[in-house]
Structure 1
Amino acid sequence: MHNLCVAHRGSSYSAPENTLAAFRQAMEFPFVKWIELDVQLSRDSVPVVIHDFSLERTTNGTGLVRDKSWDELRRLDAGSWKSLRYRGEPIPSLVEVLDLCKGKVHLNIELKTTGDMYPGLEREVLRLIISRGMEQDVVLTSFDQQALRRVKELMPGIGTGLITDIRPADLSTRLSSLGCSFLSMAYPKIDAKLMTEMTKQGVAVMAWTADQAGAIRRLVSLHPDLMICTNRPETWDQAVNGTSLLGNTLLTIKRWLIR
């Protein structure tokens, strides 16, 4: 087995999603080789790491991300909603995440946009990736096909991937026309036939988001190259390798002791 474990928004079952705390926890697991995260723009065009277009679910703020300056966003509490242990955990900027992860894990950076919601998003994200020399360490993904086209116009050599929760009949053609070498698909839609087709096309596939051991084991059985995205990397060893939970339990205790 050499399926790659991708931590969805970091170790987001145990820590507040899309925060440095969640990313640090994910990187404690040696089998986590990729982290998935979401990027939007602040009002003053700073790439920030947050999933929702609005602030209410994962912060103590209100309103839309795009209406707030970076200075306003960085002052928000993005941790207390998950647990009081994470009170004061901030929304990170993309550059903070790049600096944390460089040389340690690869990043699947989802461009959270639709239409002309975030003019310049692709350019700003690429600028930071290039400034850190991480062009080979990332893939830029999106539901928005226009965003993927803009990325390729700006930097043809960067890896890009389409995100989809459906399986269209023209999927192979669509990926080819977009220049995508990566497919991020809802895991119930993935089967062995799809994996054979994508492998022949040279497209890497990531399944999202599987948290139950049975679902992870089914995905592993489909193809050794299928990447599996999970909110719960702490269950990976047990689900995939059938190992004991003791190691993960000790790691959890260690985290409590150092906080």
Structure 2
Amino acid sequence: MVTRTALIGLAGLASLTLAAPGGIPAPLEWGAGPLTVDALPRVVHVAHRGGAREVPENSMSGLMAAYERGTAQVLDLDTRMLRDGTVVVMHDATLNRTTYAGGAVRDLDLREWRGVRLRPRDSLPGSWRAERPPTVAEVLDRFGGRIVLTLEAKDPDSLDTLAAMLRARGLTRSVFVNSNDPEVARRAHRLGLVSQLWRSAAQLRTDRPERWASFVDLLDVDHKARDTDLVRAVRSGVPRVWAHTVVTPAQRDRVLALGCDGVITDAPGRLWKASKRRAVSRPLSGE
């Protein structure tokens, strides 16, 4: 059963893309408006922070690599707001872990942000250069409508700015806006955005996700949660339930078997290769 589900996801990905100049996968929807969440296959693979075990997280080069490889149908990134209101791509509230600089992201303006350089981790495969972390506008202009995105709004006061940016580019149905706060998800829904709500394993123990079905489009659940909690999320009435942060085929197989229809992963290439091997070694029954 799990094998069939995984193969459906692979077939869905194949149906979304074709060869484009330079080898970059081009959505079939090009020329007919932006790719939207409605075009996603039944089972979705999401490159978390671009695939943080394979590329420099939340970097333009990492996002581009994940996009070109075609191993995920969705690119995930985190957003923070600078003191001048510019929304940028960064997970942490400080620069210390992922850049050569230090201090609070919120203390910078756009001019200062452009002087920051990301520090690729030594453990990443391949060779990566230091680079300037992007703004959200730059990511939207490069990928918006070409692949579905998820933006986690780490600063809830950036929500109006994000909504305006998505409306101006015609991307309100092409981007999930993510938060850990149900009230932020409710606000996103009221702003006409596609709302995503993530919850930890501890939160899922006491959550009643059916209460959110009217305003949450995607429930993003911790794969470490108990089976009963994941099943309750799947049965909540929320249209999509994806599990984070999956890194092994066994983790993926478990959450798909429990009814989740997507996985958010730091290793999209690894899961993709495992699915291809399985498709070759275990054909569907009756074939």
TM (normalized to structure 2)? 0.74
> Superposition RMSD on alpha carbons, in Å?
2.4
Aligned AA (1:159): V
Larger deviation, residues 104-113 vs 80-89: 80-89
Instruction: Give the CA deviation at 1:45.
Output: 0.5
Once the two structures are superposed, the pairs formed by residues 126-205 of structure 1 within 5 Å of their partners are 126-153=163-190, 155=191, 157-165=192-200, 166-176=203-213, 179-189=215-225, 191=227, 194-195=230-231, 198=234, 201-205=237-241
Equivalent residue number for residue 253 of structure 1? none
Divergent runs of 4+, >6 A: none
Equivalent residue number for residue 147 of structure 2? 105
- Equivalenced residues, count: 235
Contact 1:183 1:205 in 2 (8 A): yes
Match of 1:34 among 71, 74, 84: 74
Larger deviation, residues 91-100 vs 234-243: 234-243
Equivalent residue number for residue 233 of structure 1? 268
Larger deviation, residues 15-24 vs 199-208: 199-208
Q: Secondary structure of the equivalent of 1:124?
A: helix
CA distance in 2, matches of 1:171, 1:79: 40
Relative to structure 1, the CA distance from residue 100 to residue 190 in structure 2 (aligned partners, 3 Å threshold; closer, same or farther) is farther
Contact 2:216 2:238 in 1 (8 A): no
Equivalent residue number for residue 130 of structure 2? 88
CA distance in 2, matches of 1:106, 1:159: 11
Equivalent residue number for residue 30 of structure 2? none
Relative to structure 1, the CA distance from residue 214 to residue 48 in structure 2 (aligned partners, 3 Å threshold; closer, same or farther) is same
CA distance in 1, matches of 2:96, 2:233: 41
CA distance in 1, matches of 2:189, 2:249: 37
Equivalent residue number for residue 93 of structure 2? 53
Aligned AA (1:21): S
Equivalent residue number for residue 51 of structure 2? 11
Contact 1:79 1:86 in 2 (8 A): no
Contact 2:78 2:151 in 1 (8 A): yes
Aligned AA (1:188): K
Contact 1:54 1:64 in 2 (8 A): yes
Equivalent residue number for residue 206 of structure 1? 242
Contact 2:50 2:75 in 1 (8 A): yes
Equivalent residue number for residue 5 of structure 2? none
Identity among equivalent positions (%) equals 26
CA distance in 2, matches of 1:74, 1:141: 25
1:134-190 deviations in Å (ceiling 9; x for gaps): 11111111013332233234x1x321121110314442244146x112111111216
Contact 2:186 2:216 in 1 (8 A): no
TM (normalized to structure 1)? 0.81
Relative to structure 1, the CA distance from residue 217 to residue 176 in structure 2 (aligned partners, 3 Å threshold; closer, same or farther) is closer
CA distance in 1, matches of 2:275, 2:254: 10
| Structure 2 unmatched ranges of 5 or more | 1-7, 10-42, 280-287
